[in-house]
């Protein structure tokens, strides 16, 4: 049975790409901001940063944050209303994750367009949660007085700043895995642009 | 460019799949080039030097100033700390090095007052010490990200503004400093209960490194909004801008 529905609904695709560009701006401008007062014994190379100097990077960061928040909110609202989050993103049980992870690592996990396997669900749910926490920790160091309760609950300004950095590192880690998987299954890139078509249910799935 | 692409592709996650790698190497290269192309589009070609991009960013910064003003609460207080939390030594920071610190004879120093005020007489340090004093141990946060906790004491700025008969409906208070620094703040922050004209640091008269004889201390604003070495104050409806603000830091600079 082949349904007419796209594997990736238009809202998901649009918010994905707008969010992707905004996130890239947030990360690279964030690296430039980090370079002004590093918390670890290294700085990011200039070619990987955005903004040219601290003031420019701050302007990029605080402009891109609205784009990221906007696309994120639209995505979450759509995801909740349409059931996309519950159906496709809600993590499966640990056994399913283990099974799909083993299958993926041994190259036996078939990719079926429009179906999210247990590893994907875990990664996507995880990066969404991390992104939300990154926004919260970002707000807490942007407005440590006006949103002092967030700053306080994260252990104070200095710790919140390090948490923000650590969460960014997790997002970058996700991006590396995400891009590697896209490289392994390039058709996913096409369907994330065109929408693709939902593949018929697999016989072997769940056996 | 190819070296950088090579490094991206050489991610540890892929090292375990050498046999497959050969098959898809070409695709990987394409992906690597794509993402790097995107990166260089955003950085390499100095996108932010484009006048249109610069205009958009500065429009967003002005929008964010409005958001920051809306988020600002006249009554919400910055966290205060015990004396044991004070950062020692408290860092010196300015747009120049420590060897260029400017000093003034505190006996001869006078604070000029101008703009939308009723009392324009200059103030001596002794005059300011006669006004009510208030002390705070708060966190100074620099726009660069670092922070330090210090203890400042001095005149609540709202008390001073009332003494000079400052127009409460005026939008800005501007500061000129004798180290050629300048900045300006919104009236709401000027009247915030933790905004003080600091005359002392750590219980002793403000030393030259921290802005002697007087700095404005606001735990609700970033460091660059806290002027040191103040020589003149003006109350105005025309935004006086600031040394860093005119170069691109956001004008509100609120915490």
ipTM for this model: 0.91
Do both A97 and A181 map to the same domain?
yes
Q: Is residue A82 part of a domain?
A: yes
A193 is a domain residue: no
In the predicted model, what is the mean pLDDT of residues A111-120? Answer: 87
Picking from A72, A89, A106, the residue at the C-terminal end of a domain is: A89
Flag whether pLDDT at A187 surpasses 80.
yes
Based on the fold, state whether residues B26 and B108 are members of the same structural domain: no
**Span between the terminal Cα atoms of chain A, in Å:** 20
The 10s digit of each residue's pLDDT in B184-219 is 999 999 999 999 999 999 999 999 999 999 999 999
Q: Are residues B182 and B146 in the same domain?
A: yes
Residue of A28, A33, A143 with shortest CB distance to B42? A28
Residue B40 domain boundaries: 2-45
What value does the mean pLDDT take over residues A185-193? 91
Query: Which residues between 126 and 165 in chain B have a beta carbon less than 8 angstroms from any beta carbon of chain A?
Result: 139, 141-147
Average pLDDT, integer, range A188-196: 92
Predicted pLDDT at B16:
52
Lowest-pLDDT range, A48-52, A130-134, A192-196?
A192-196
Residue A68: both structure tokens together:
């990221």
Q: What CATH number does the domain containing B202 carry?
A: 3.90.420.10
What pLDDT, in 10s, does the model give residues B6-56? 333 334 444 455 555 455 454 444 444 445 445 555 554 555 567 899 999
Please check whether residue B62 lies inside any domain of the structure: yes
pLDDT winner (highest mean) among A108-112, A189-193, B229-233: B229-233
How many separate domains does chain B show? 2
- Please report the pLDDT score of residue A113 as a whole number: 83
Q: How many domains does the structure of chain A reveal?
A: 2
d(CA B7, CA B102): 49
Q: 94-133 in B: which are within 8 Å (CB) of A?
A: none
Touching check for B42 and chain A: CB below 8 Å?
Answer: yes
DSSP string, chain B: -HHHHHHHHT-HHHHTTHHHHHHHHHHHHHHHHHHHHHHHHHTTT-GGGSHHHHHHHHHHHHHHHHHHHHH--SSPPPPB--GGG--SSPPP--SS-GGG-----TTT--BEEEES-S----B-HHHHHTS--EEEEEEEE-TTS-EEEEEEEEEEHHHHHHHTT--TT--EEEEEETTS-EEEEEHHHHTSTT-EEEEEETTEEPPGGGTTT-EEE-TTB-GGGS--SEEEEEEESS----TTGGGTS-SS-B-
Residue A2 lies in a domain: yes
Nearest CA distance, B185 vs chain A (angstrom): 17
- To the nearest whole Å, the CA of B156 is away from the closest chain A CA by 19
Average pLDDT, rounded, for chain A: 92
Last residue of a domain, one of A28, A62, A89: A89
Predicted pLDDT of residue A202: 55
Residue B253 within any structural domain of the chain: no
The string of pLDDT tens digits covering residues A140-174 is 999 999 999 999 999 999 999 999 999 999 999 99
Which of A63, A89, A115 marks a domain boundary? A89
pLDDT exceeds 60 at position B77: yes
For residues B129-154, give the mean pLDDT: 98
Higher confidence at residue A93 or residue B232? B232
CA distance, residue B62 to nearest chain A CA (Å): 10
Domain residue limits at A54? 1-89
Residues B11 and B134 reside in one and the same domain: no
The answer to whether A115 and A92 have CB atoms below 8 angstroms apart is no
Domain match, A96 and A107 both: yes
Same domain, yes or no, for A97 and A66? no
Q: Domain for residue A194, yes or no?
A: no
Residue of A nearest to B45 (CA): A47
pLDDT band at B93 (very low <50, low <70, confident <90, very high): very high
pLDDT value of residue A5 = 81
- Whole-number pLDDT of residue B42: 53
Q: Is A78 found in the same domain as A38?
A: yes
User: Comparing B195 with A112, which gets the higher pLDDT?
Assistant: B195
Split at pLDDT 50, 70, 90, the class of B179 is very high
For B3, other C-beta atoms within 10 Å of its C-beta total 6
pLDDT, tens digit, 9 for 90 and up, residues A40-93 = 999 999 999 999 999 999 999 999 999 999 999 999 999 999 999 999 999 999
In angstroms, rounded to a whole number, what is the distance separating the alpha carbons of residues B151 and B134?
11
Give percent of chain B above pLDDT 70: 81
Q: Mean pLDDT across chain B, nearest whole number? A: 88
């Amino acid at each position: 049975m082949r349904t007419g529905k796209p594997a990736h609904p238009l809202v998901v695709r649009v918010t994905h790409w707008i969010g992707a560009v905004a996130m890239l701006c947030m990360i690279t401008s964030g690296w430039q901001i980090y370079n002004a007062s590093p918390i670890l014994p290294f700085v990011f190379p200039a070619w990987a940063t955005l903004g040219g100097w601290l003031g420019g990077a701050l302007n990029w960061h605080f402009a891109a944050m609205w784009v990221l928040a906007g696309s994120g909110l639209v995505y979450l609202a759509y995801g909740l209303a349409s059931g996309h989050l519950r159906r496709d993103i809600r993590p499966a049980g640990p056994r399913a994750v283990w099974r799909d992870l083993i299958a993926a690592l041994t190259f036996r996990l078939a990719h079926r367009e429009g179906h999210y396997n247990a590893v994907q669900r875990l990664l996507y749910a995880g990066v969404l949660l991390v992104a939300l926490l990154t926004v919260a920790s970002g707000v807490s160091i942007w407005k440590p007085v006006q949103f002092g309760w967030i700053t306080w609950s994260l252990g104070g300004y200095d710790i919140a700043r390090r948490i923000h950095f650590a969460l960014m590192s997790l997002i970058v880690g996700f991006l590396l895995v995400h891009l590697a998987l896209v490289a392994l299954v390039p058709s996913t890139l096409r369907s994330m642009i065109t929408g693709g078509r939902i593949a018929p249910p697999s016989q072997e799935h769940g056996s | 460019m190819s070296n950088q692409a090579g490094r991206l592709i050489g991610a540890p996650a892929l090292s375990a799949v050498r046999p497959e790698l050969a098959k898809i190497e070409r695709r990987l290269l394409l992906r690597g080039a794509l993402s790097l192309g995107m990166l260089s589009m955003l950085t390499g070609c100095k996108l932010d030097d484009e006048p249109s991009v610069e205009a958009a960013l500065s429009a967003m910064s002005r929008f964010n100033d409005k958001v920051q003003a809306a988020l600002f609460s006249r009554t919400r207080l910055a966290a205060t700390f015990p004396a044991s939390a004070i950062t020692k030594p408290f860092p010196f920071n300015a747009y120049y090095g420590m060897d260029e610190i400017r000093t003034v004879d505190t006996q001869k120093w006078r604070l000029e007052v101008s703009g939308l005020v009723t009392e324009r007489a200059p103030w001596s340090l002794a005059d300011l010490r006669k006004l009510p004093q208030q002390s705070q141990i708060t966190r100074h946060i620099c726009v660069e990200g670092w922070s330090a906790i210090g203890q400042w004491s001095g005149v609540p700025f709202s008390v001073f503004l009332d003494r000079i008969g400052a127009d409460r409906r005026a939008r800005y208070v501007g500061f000129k400093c004798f180290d050629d620094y300048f900045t300006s703040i919104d009236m709401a922050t000027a009247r915030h209960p933790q905004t003080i004209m600091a005359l002392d640091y750590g219980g002793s008269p403000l030393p030259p490194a921290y802005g002697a004889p007087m700095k404005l201390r606001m735990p609700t604003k970033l460091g660059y909004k806290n002027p040191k070495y103040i020589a003149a104050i003006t109350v105005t409806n025309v935004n006086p801008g600031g040394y860093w603000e005119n170069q691109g830091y956001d004008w509100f600079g609120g915490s």
